[in-house]
Structure 1
């Protein structure tokens, strides 16, 4: 997938911004993270980890939906980063997205923060 296409695939259903704040690489997905859009988040995460990022923060405040494919993207990132001694932090999950993590038990394997600021301060 062309990296310039980030945020345009899936009929604009997902847009992902990537930034650096302190020692954290921050991913801000907005829209729907599902089978059709998962690569839009998976590719920049993989690129960041390949470049040496070991502390990833995902600002979920704009994430309206996440299915099992999206969850698997985050779980895969967690495994890769933890192998490097780092971690994946999730911040500001909306109730519908948080419910997916609760139902699957995935909320127990991530560090979950109520706000992005809390995730960045830890």
Structure 2
């Protein structure tokens, strides 16, 4: 009887090892996702005049505006600072999330959609 690529004892052992490795990766990915969900990232704009804090789940958790930056004659500047702080906080959170997932996936692009 001819033994194929996965035939015989050695092939079965390799398949079991691959399954165990995939299961461990799945557990590690779930753990990383849980850590990302509670991770907080903050960013400021205007030299700290506006601070935004976001969670890894892309939720704005806090927004602080120093009173001295509130000028009724220049609402546009305040709006720009708020947007800049929030967008930077989200960008940093996304970057941190990607780094966390790369540790688990070995840089395979944040996971394998549909596999887990």
TM-score band by shorter chain is under 0.3
Q: Which has the larger radius of gyration?
A: 2
Q: Which has the higher helix share?
A: 2
Q: Which has the higher strand share?
A: 1
Q: So what's the TM-score if we normalise by structure 2?
A: 0.25
